[in-house]
Structure 1
Amino acid sequence: MLQDKRKICYMSRRLLLDLHLLDIIQSMKQKISTHSYYPLLLDLKNKKVVVVGGGGVAERKVLGLLSAGALVKLVSPKATETLVEMASDGLIDHMAKTFIPEDLDGAWLVISATDDSDVQELVYKEALSKRIFCNVVDQPEFCSFIVPSIVRRGNLCLSISTGGSCPALAQRLRKELGQSIGPFYGDYVSLLGGLRQLIIRSNEDPVTRKELCHSLADPEVMAWVENGEWDRVEKWAVSLCGNEAINIVLNFR
């Protein structure tokens, strides 16, 4: 009798486990059936990026790429005054001509910001054949990546995306977040980054390093930085990292 009960309990647990696995598999199938994007941040420093188009949208894309350290090649018969000035100053390489497939040679990614549908499709097909990431503005069917709305404060970067479903909502959320994430966050994040490097250099024990690094994200310290209470910040930093922290804090006073 006891053996039968144990067998029944085992079978019940097994059935529950199988049902749980079925739920997980079904959930994964649903996610796979819908188009979802994998979020990531790209290191484009000293990497060739092609921008096709020379209007206002292309100008904004170029400015963002330059801030990431990309080597920008602009392909467009015409360009805004700002883009022309950038080319004259050597900030970008402007090819004043119509796009051809060879323009993508050696590129890491391409952004098409032109309203010419034939050029849009050509850029996408060539990028696809050369395994180059491609974004055709406002044409998700011609995109292998999309660009989220961004809130940036120094090294702090918040990305908001609806997966292309409603860019207007992402823009509204960006504005709301931008109002709540003050400018001081730039200094705050840089300060924590400096202290974190000091902790890593000064502590060989991984457990101690982890505990100290976790203690950096203290909301009280964030309030001190926001209010400019640097004496308190310095005292806290020294207690955590030693006297070397004084020089790090001095950079933000």
Structure 2
Amino acid sequence: MIPIALDPTHVRIALVGQGPLAKRRLAQLLEGGASPAVYSPEPDAELAVLAGDGLRRALPSPTDLDNAQVLFVVGISEDVAEALAHQARDRNILVNVEDVIPFCDFHAPSVIRRGDLLMTVSTGGKSPALAQVLRERLETLFPAVWADRLAELAALRDRLRAAGAKGPEVLRACRDLIAAKGWLP
């Protein structure tokens, strides 16, 4: 596995699915700044509200798929998911079919988000339960206040850079601030 973080302002993302897992995945995509096209033949009311104007009440056509670079497939029958995975791969679209490893080009890690601080846990799809347990532990170690802490570090970095400081000096100052504030044990 090669970990990467995608900027959704530069990547066209689509989601095909329904049910609670589709809602969870869509919420994660939205929280990450994505505005995915959402395809769901029979969305429940909650998914429809969450998807908003991005909802199409059907499966994607081949032309629809041509407009995506990353495809998430969640909560639909395995035969439909397999067909979509093949169609996506034929178009060089990265695809993830939730919990069906052979149809996945990538795995979506378990996510902890504190403002712009993003931490992830991945088991390469081998144990979602372990990823969930580790994520829950990290959530307790890094509470919501870390969003403000990151903002404070970013402001320090910006001030130092504006004053002409170079990378090693900025790094040292940030590490010193973290230590002085006692943010980490």
1:101 equivalent in alignment to 2:59:
no
**Partner residue in 1 for 2:40:** 76
**Partner residue in 2 for 1:66:** 30
CA positional deviation for 1:63: 1.5
Q: 1:186 to 1:221 in 2, by over 3 A?
A: farther
Percent of aligned pairs with the same amino acid: 31
CA positional deviation for 1:189: 0.8
**Any idea what SS the aligned residue of 1:159 has?**
strand
What is the rounded CA distance, in whole Å, between the counterparts of 1:49 and 1:142 in structure 2? 17
Q: Which amino acid aligns with 1:54?
A: Q
What is the rounded CA distance, in whole Å, between the counterparts of 2:116 and 2:43 in structure 1? 31
**Partner residue in 2 for 1:122:** 83
CA RMSD of aligned residues (A): 1.9
Q: 1:190 to 1:49 in 2, by over 3 A?
A: same
- Aligned mate of 1:214, from 164, 172, 181: 172
**Partner residue in 2 for 1:32:** none
TM-score by length of 1: 0.67
C-alpha distance after superposition, 1:75-134 (max 9, x if no partner): 11111212222445x3xx211123433221221200000331111111110111111110
**Partner residue in 2 for 1:171:** 132
CA positional deviation for 1:165: 1.3
What is the rounded CA distance, in whole Å, between the counterparts of 1:182 and 1:69 in structure 2? 21
**Any idea what SS the aligned residue of 1:112 has?**
strand
What is the rounded CA distance, in whole Å, between the counterparts of 2:47 and 2:10 in structure 1? 19
TM-score by length of 2: 0.89
- Give the number of the structure whose alpha-carbon radius of gyration is greater: 1
Q: 1:178 to 1:198 in 2, by over 3 A?
A: same
Aligned counterparts, 1:1-253, within 5 A: 37-45=1-9, 47-88=11-52, 90=53, 93-203=54-164, 206=166, 209-218=167-176, 219-223=178-182
Structure 1: tracts of 5 or more residues without a match: 1-36, 227-253
The answer on whether the counterparts of 1:101 and 1:123 sit within 8 Å (CA) in structure 2 is no
**Any idea what SS the aligned residue of 1:170 has?**
helix
What is the rounded CA distance, in whole Å, between the counterparts of 1:194 and 1:39 in structure 2? 27
The answer on whether the counterparts of 1:135 and 1:146 sit within 8 Å (CA) in structure 2 is yes
Q: Which has the higher contact order (CA 8 A, sep 6+)?
A: 2
The answer on whether the counterparts of 1:46 and 1:69 sit within 8 Å (CA) in structure 2 is no
Question: More helix by proportion, 1 or 2?
Answer: 1
